[in-house]
């Protein structure tokens, strides 16, 4: 059952905890939490991030409490890096990965425990999830000086307050102080802030030590009257106004891509003229996952990453990368229904498939009913690689280090060295003997490649500097364009988030509320 309001909590005698909550989703919670983690780490404070329950198909691999590899949300992985601590699933003990037909895969302590609909989750899994979240928090609070927790969505969702694990429950079992964020870009910020404070459970409302306005553009003095009024009416101090900025942290989910029928372009603001750039097209699969794979690529000067609807043409594309997917067979059907398979077959440039995208590129998928109930035993793939994927009940989740020999793939020519990434997938992919002489097995043998097609299970493919640069070189060469100079190296996203928070948030007051010296 949900916890009752109390004056004491699990970790009151260990680490003070700050819950970064919001009036809604996408108000900047992840960025502010990461920035605070880096600021505290820079001051010599042992700090750990925490999010009791996350909903995202952008996952990372980290160690579980049992010392095995498991899945966790990408935001807490990034926040752990910001905090300079080893990412573990304790920082995100419950992960819900949305899949088809309103269901989500439930991941507890890094391990997938089943697929459930939303209503069923609260009936059959929620108590287990809450117990896992409390245990994970207790371990973190015992090992660190401070915990910076991140809420989910809005903190005052009155239909969910009796089972709100990431906000209400966390605030109570962690005895957390609360920093409340509101996004002014959406309009109605002061009303949202006031209404949220009014609708919060009284015991949570008493925990609010301050609020901050995020994503502001313009003259900050225009907010003075509103700030003074909200402080007078609520008694909650406004601790800062953060300008609109993107430090470059990984996106938590694909909502940031906008509506599915729209084209979203990353990397088009780097100052490189379009005629000196290349366009890497990523089809917007209905069940797309791990879109964070492409963010490092989009930060390369002269590279535009375009997420296009399935019905869009490939006109102007210099390369195509098929992303990961939560349902390979379902998205294969969607690709065919939109005619994307024919357009890809006519495309003459480099093609890459990552994880589910790799499976899509093969000749066929067998035992498909394991992933998609009701699917036939064998489903034909896109046929760009002579491989076969067979689904089974076991899910592979691990971090891997592989050796790269550039001669193994035309898309990685000249690249040599070790690359570290991670794998999260069902199914095993094997080479068929239809075209053995034209196919290589790069990246540790768990991939397949021809001169201009590469399929791999390795997530984080473009995180590695050498491998990313080798692929970009290949795309520019294929497009017969000269790659522009790299220019200055981009700032660390963790440092950028810390600078944003330090410059525009009253951290002295915030840290004092946690009992920390400024």
CATH number at residue 175: 3.40.50.300
> What DSSP assignment string belongs to 202-215?
HHHHTTEEEEEEEE
Please indicate, yes or no, whether residues 243 and 385 belong to a single structural domain of this protein: no
Both tokens assigned to 442: 């790069």
Say which residue the tokens 């963790």 belong to.
Answer: 494
User: Domains in the chain: how many in total?
Assistant: 2
308 and 186 in a single domain? The answer is no
Find, among 211, 124, 122, the residue nearest to 160 by Cα.
122
Residues 99 and 229 in one domain: yes
Is 459 a residue of the active site? Answer: yes
Point out the residues of the chain with pLDDT beneath 70.
Answer: 1-13, 100-101, 253-260, 406-407, 434-437, 487-490, 518
Phi and psi (nearest 5°) for 443?
A: 55, 55
Are 156 and 182 contained in the same domain? yes
Looking at the structure, tell me whether residues 369 and 502 fall in a common domain.
no
Q: Compute the CA torsion angle 389, 390, 393, 395 (nearest 10 deg).
A: -20
**Active-site entry in 26, 144, 425, 459:** 459
Residues 326, 217: one domain?
Answer: no
pLDDT of 415-451, one tens digit each? 888 889 999 999 999 998 766 667 888 887 779 998 8
> What is the distance between the alpha carbons of residues 476 and 134, in angstroms, rounded to a whole number?
50
| Domain annotation covers residue 484 | no
C-alpha span between 369 and 378 (Å, rounded): 9
CATH number at residue 417: 3.40.50.880
In a domain, 429, yes or no: yes
The residues, ordered by sequence, that sit 6+ positions from 173 with a Cβ below 8 Å of its Cβ are 3, 9, 10, 11, 133, 134, 137
CA torsion 479-483-489-492 (nearest 10°) is 0
Same domain, 225 and 302: no
Flag whether 108 is in a domain. yes
Instruction: Return the closest-CA partner of residue 313 out of 278, 281, 275.
Output: 281
Distance from C-alpha of 406 to C-alpha of 464, rounded to nearest angstrom: 14
Tell me the backbone φ, ψ of residue 203, rounded to 5 degrees.
Answer: -70, -30
Same domain, 52 and 156: yes
Look up the domain containing 454 and give its range. 273-478
**Residue 394 resides in a domain:** yes
Say yes or no: 234 and 309 in one domain: no
- Which pLDDT score is estimated for 224? 96
> By the 8 A CB rule, do 388 and 413 touch?
no
Whether residue 378 is contained in a domain is answered as yes
26, 37, 144, 355: which one is catalytic? 355
Closest by alpha carbon to 266, among 252, 253, 256? 256
Q: From CA 197, how far away is CA 238, in angstroms rounded? A: 13
355 is catalytic: yes
Predicted confidence at residue 3, as pLDDT, reads 59
pLDDT at 437: 67
Predicted pLDDT of residue 258: 58
Q: With helix as H, strand as E and coil as C, how does 272-290 read?
A: CCHHHCEEEEEECCCCEEC
Q: Tell me, what's the pLDDT at 393? A: 86
Looking at 273-420, list the stretches that DSSP marks H as alpha helix, in order from N- to C-terminal side: 295-298, 328-337, 340-345, 356-361
């Amino acid at each position: 059952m949900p916890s009752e309001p109390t004056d004491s909590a699990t970790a009151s005698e260990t680490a003070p905890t700050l819950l970064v909550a919001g009036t809604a989703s996408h108000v900047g919670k992840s960025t502010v939490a990461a920035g605070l983690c880096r600021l505290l780490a820079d001051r010599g404070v042992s700090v750990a991030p925490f999010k009791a329950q996350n909903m995202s198909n952008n996952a990372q691999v980290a160690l579980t409490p049992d010392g095995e590899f498991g899945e966790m949300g990408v935001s807490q992985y990034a926040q752990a890096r910001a905090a300079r601590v080893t990412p573990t699933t304790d920082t995100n003990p419950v992960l819900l990965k949305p899949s088809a037909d309103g269901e989500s895969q439930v991941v507890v302590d890094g391990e997938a425990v089943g697929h459930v609909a939303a209503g069923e989750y609260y009936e059959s899994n929620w108590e287990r999830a809450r117990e896992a979240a409390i245990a994970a928090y207790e371990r973190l609070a015992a090992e660190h000086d401070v915990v910076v927790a991140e809420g989910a969505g809005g903190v005052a969702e009155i239909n969910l307050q009796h089972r709100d694990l990431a906000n209400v429950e966390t605030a109570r079992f962690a005895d957390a102080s609360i920093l409340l964020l509101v996004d002014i870009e959406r309009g109605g910020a002061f009303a949202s802030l006031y209404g949220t404070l009014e609708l919060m459970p009284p015991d949570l409302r008493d925990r609010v030590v301050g609020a901050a306005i995020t994503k502001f553009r313009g003259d900050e003095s225009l907010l003075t009257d509103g700030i003074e009024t909200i402080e007078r009416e609520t008694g909650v101090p406004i601790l800062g106004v953060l300008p609109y900025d993107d430090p470059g942290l990984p996106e938590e989910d694909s909502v940031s891509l906008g509506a599915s029928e729209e084209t979203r372009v990353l990397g088009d603001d780097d100052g490189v003229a379009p005629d000196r750039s290349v366009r890497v097209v990523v089809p917007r699969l209905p069940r797309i996952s791990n879109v964070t794979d492409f963010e490092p690529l989009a930060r390369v000067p002269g590279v535009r990453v375009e997420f296009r609807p399935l019905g869009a043409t490939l006109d102007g594309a210099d390369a195509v990368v098929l992303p990961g997917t939560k349902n390979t067979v379902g998205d294969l059907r969607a690709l065919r229904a939109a005619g994307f398979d024919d357009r890809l077959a006519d495309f003459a440039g480099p093609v890459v498939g990552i994880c589910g995208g790799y499976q899509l590129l093969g000749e066929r998928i067998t035992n498909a009913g394991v992933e998609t109930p009701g699917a036939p035993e064998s489903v034909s793939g896109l046929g760009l690689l002579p491989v076969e994927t067979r689904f089974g009940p076991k899910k592979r989740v691990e971090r891997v280090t592989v050796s790269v020999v550039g001669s193994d793939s035309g898309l990685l020519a000249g690249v040599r060295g070790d690359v570290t990434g991670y794998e999260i997938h069902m199914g095993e992919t094997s080479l068929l003997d239809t075209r053995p002489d034209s196919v290589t097995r790069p990246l540790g043998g768990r991939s397949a490649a021809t001169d201009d097609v590469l399929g791999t299970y390795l997530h984080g493919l473009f995180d590695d500097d050498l491998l990313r640069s080798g692929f970009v070189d290949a795309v520019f060469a294929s497009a017969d364009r000269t790659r522009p100079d790299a220019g200055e190296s981009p700032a660390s996203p963790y440092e950028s988030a810390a600078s944003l928070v330090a410059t525009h948030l009253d951290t002295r007051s915030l840290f004092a509320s946690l009992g920390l010296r400024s």
